[in-house]
Structure 1
């Protein structure tokens, strides 16, 4: 009897102990590298590997681990791209599956830092202390999780904020030939966010390390580095690193969009953040992806790009959105940059990205070399959704600005074929030239939206037409300072809604008052010359006239 009781206790104790055991099975499949080169590794076997899965390679020479991303899933082998110290991996080294996708560290600790696409700091300022991680590939929000673009992103550039406005959650392409000011526009837009609540992500793809260092220094000098993350895959980095750089930047930005300021998931009561992401530039990412695909023996398509190059950019840019209020109302605004060759916007990659984005800012090299900076070609530049987020007074005064400049371009072209122009044409040419001059801006000289409204209003009401062209920007900047110092209430009211008739009349009076004082210091040279030449002279002798 005692033995039976003891046996039962033993069995019960064993059952309790077995039930308390929380055993987990970590299943990994291992194989060996059969071929490696150009940042690509071919691994035999790995039947359970999934597309996009993170693979762990162990170097037999150093014992260090190098990670890769499964790309090709063939019958007998897996083709993977390698990150990190790829020269450590040799033929015969071990490779294991991990069962997870690639992710990178994110969080507020990333602000002010320069990291590589793996999230590792490369600025020499020590490690980044963060526990948050996000996958580099993430499904874009669905239709019901979004809301229409309704808030503006002010770049501080008059030509863009007036004619090609950008809204929070929009995808606005910046496109043009090399050395036409594409990066300058993006950096100016980032610098102008120093007084807003927007977090900025700058993704440098295939650029020189010295260029990235100069951009970091510029952001630091203008006080915006502490709210910016720079993700850099330089020209010295491998093609796989340049390939994942934009996705890494999007993942870092999504952390701020989907979470509140304390890092908790955003909802209706805890709003998410607003992020501006610049991809500089996606042309180099496409070239890197083409290099990877050709090395992986994927069939080439148009211009030797793989067939899924469109899907690569579309799934990246679809992650930019304005979330619904139920999801926190955060936003991720994307400014992708594309470099064209000789102004050819009909090439493969430019047409792909144009069709994906919500508009494009086209920079023309001829305008740039003529001194028109930013060199925005208003004829083919467009913003499809940004107008809904534009300040009402700005929309009111800038509504016909594009048409006025287009008319000026037409008249300018025809005026080259003849000198006999009627008074209306001469007025339009003079007015258009002053409008174009007003749109010029130096780098890092952003204009407040209220000052932009005042400047455009003054130009449309012909206050600039009798000012010498070299003095137009001097007049514009002086007028903005005058209104800020002397009439701050009127200036502040410009962002509250449309301008009424009374507001417009008051603006005209103040602008005329400032213009009178300005012309005393900077008189119109043409008018002064005309008045000087209009002085009466003695009549010529009759004989002289006869000889002539």
Structure 2
């Protein structure tokens, strides 16, 4: 059976339809040398700064140094298989990472490759890791809160959606715990979280993933992991990759939260790359553009205007200090970029204050704009009470006798400090925080022993949830406290205090008035002995001088 000429012609025509004769011009160069993750490439005449370069064996790099006769590129990943003379091609593209809802619940490396063993990603959407931050006109004022579930932060250092709040402190002071508590507290809310691990050991990253999984937080979280064993190039681009994934949700009109843990190690990685690229070192051997390294990342956090979709990207960068030195190079850089800082102090941590928050130098520049009205109503008094407590506590170390008012303020401050303590991975809802802080600031804990304050708090919150659930529901619904809610809260506290067996508790606790009442008799008694004592020595001293003088004369 022969094949007709017509059939052959049809087959050829079909093949020609799929044939693409377009020409693509690419620069091709050769590797001159490789060392420490840096490749020197000769022959790439038209390479651009930051352009993605294609190396053999599906390896990629970034062109960072454009020199007169060669290009120095940072290799993204392993480089042991690259040799002198290997071919290198330009791509005309910037580095991109996969984005989309498909990444939620996954653990990926900074290139977007899954490393959790759950199979490949099913997304075709990508975004460049580097992007110009939104302009002033496209932004909106930060006016809605990110509830962390941590009493000390939500009351005194509130974080808003679209804000950049730095978490700074020494090693092992609870910085990662603050991030994880914040992520866990978003369960059931509309915030998508991206946790970026930079330069951590693999065991720590595995613990973080396990903790989030146990608390059901991986349902709305992406983990971008660059471990300490990964090349410096991956530690360098990890925050930008995580930011690009968060920006995708912001551009969709959604709310996203990026946690960078931590940017100190990214600065170390960038310093290593810069020194290997033969860039001139500056202060602490960092390159001259290390400030721009962090500013161009953190400026991408924003609250967008309704015309731009109304989404937001909140940034929580972490900086590790050495011996509580917040005035070092990298800490001062990031402090100047962010909208406030949460300072965790090693001395407080070791003293049992968890979270180890130093309220004195911690600040949020957004302030009450990022709080609900209910929280503002109780938080203002808390700030004042703790400020007075810190001032008086320093004075009391040198004073032997304290008046009643000072003693009362010190005792209340000690109870409020105890009330702010909190176990890790147990964030507290807004309504419960408001109820507990109200009880502390209004003096309802003044008769509770300091050692039993946390026991009182746990029991009171259980009492509210079981016996007075309407109070918590009303606070959640109104997000504000009116006279009716104040009265119901006060009645609930009074009932529970009697059940708890608080000795000497009265429904209305006003320590200032009580102190004035106790000091009134002292003020009346003091002038009486002064008036009686003063004339006595004057009358006695005059006659005693004469015999002494006469005796001396006789002796002479």
Task: Name the TM-score class by shorter chain.
Answer: 0.7 to 0.9
What is the CA-CA distance between 1:522 and the residue it aligns to?
A: 13
Residue matched to 1:306: 287
Structure 1 residues 508-532: Cα deviation after superposition (integer angstroms, max 9, x where no partner): 1211111110117999xxxxxxxxx
Residue matched to 1:36: 34
1:414 to 369, 377, 395: 395
What is the CA-CA distance between 1:389 and the residue it aligns to?
A: 2.0
1:460 to 1:24, Cα distance in 2 relative to 1, 3 A = same
For 1:25 and 1:144, locate their aligned partners in 2 and report how far apart those are by CA, in whole Å: 42
5+ residue gaps, structure 1: 1-17, 59-63, 260-271, 524-548
Kindly tell me the number of residue pairs found equivalent between the two proteins.
Answer: 489
SS of structure 1 residue aligned to 2:399: coil
Check if 1:70 corresponds to 2:51: no
Residue matched to 1:474: 455
1:200 to 170, 186, 193: 193
CA contact (8 A) 2:447 2:503 kept: no
Q: List aligned pairs for 1:179-218, cutoff 5 A.
A: 179-218=172-211
Residue matched to 2:411: 430
Structure 1 residues 381-412: Cα deviation after superposition (integer angstroms, max 9, x where no partner): 01111420201011111013223212211211
What is the CA-CA distance between 1:282 and the residue it aligns to?
A: 0.1
1:160 to 153, 158, 161: 153
What is the CA-CA distance between 1:498 and the residue it aligns to?
A: 3.7
Structure 1 residues 292-328: Cα deviation after superposition (integer angstroms, max 9, x where no partner): 0010011111111111111110110011111111221
CA contact (8 A) 2:168 2:342 kept: yes
CA contact (8 A) 2:28 2:90 kept: yes
Greater mean deviation of Cα atoms: 399-408 or 301-310: 399-408
Residue matched to 1:47: 45
Check if 1:350 corresponds to 2:331: yes
Residue matched to 1:26: 24
Residue matched to 1:501: 483
Residue matched to 1:462: 443
For 2:216 and 2:154, locate their aligned partners in 1 and report how far apart those are by CA, in whole Å: 22
CA contact (8 A) 1:152 1:386 kept: no
SS of structure 1 residue aligned to 2:118: coil
2:341 to 341, 360, 364: 360
SS of structure 1 residue aligned to 2:141: coil
Residue matched to 2:221: 228
Residue matched to 2:109: 116
For 1:402 and 1:178, locate their aligned partners in 2 and report how far apart those are by CA, in whole Å: 27
SS of structure 2 residue aligned to 1:98: strand
Query: Which protein shows a greater Rg?
Result: 2
CA contact (8 A) 2:77 2:233 kept: no
For 2:436 and 2:428, locate their aligned partners in 1 and report how far apart those are by CA, in whole Å: 10
Residue matched to 2:139: 146
What is the CA-CA distance between 1:494 and the residue it aligns to?
A: 2.3
Check if 1:444 corresponds to 2:445: no
What is the CA-CA distance between 1:90 and the residue it aligns to?
A: 1.2
What is the CA-CA distance between 1:188 and the residue it aligns to?
A: 0.5
1:521 to 1:134, Cα distance in 2 relative to 1, 3 A = farther
TM-score scaled to structure 2, two decimals? 0.85
SS of structure 2 residue aligned to 1:404: helix
What is the CA-CA distance between 1:497 and the residue it aligns to?
A: 4.6
For 2:466 and 2:400, locate their aligned partners in 1 and report how far apart those are by CA, in whole Å: 45
CA contact (8 A) 1:191 1:224 kept: yes
CA contact (8 A) 2:78 2:231 kept: no
Structure 1 residues 146-194: Cα deviation after superposition (integer angstroms, max 9, x where no partner): 1111111101000000000011111100000111000000011001111
SS of structure 1 residue aligned to 2:89: strand
For 2:441 and 2:184, locate their aligned partners in 1 and report how far apart those are by CA, in whole Å: 28
Residue matched to 2:360: 379
What is the CA-CA distance between 1:380 and the residue it aligns to?
A: 0.6
1:66 to 1:522, Cα distance in 2 relative to 1, 3 A = farther
SS of structure 1 residue aligned to 2:303: coil
TM-score scaled to structure 1, two decimals? 0.87
Residue matched to 1:79: 72
For 1:175 and 1:244, locate their aligned partners in 2 and report how far apart those are by CA, in whole Å: 21
For 1:491 and 1:237, locate their aligned partners in 2 and report how far apart those are by CA, in whole Å: 48
Structure 1 residues 71-118: Cα deviation after superposition (integer angstroms, max 9, x where no partner): 001111111100123111111111111001000111111111111101
Residue matched to 1:327: 308
1:522 to 1:400, Cα distance in 2 relative to 1, 3 A = closer
For 1:491 and 1:111, locate their aligned partners in 2 and report how far apart those are by CA, in whole Å: 32
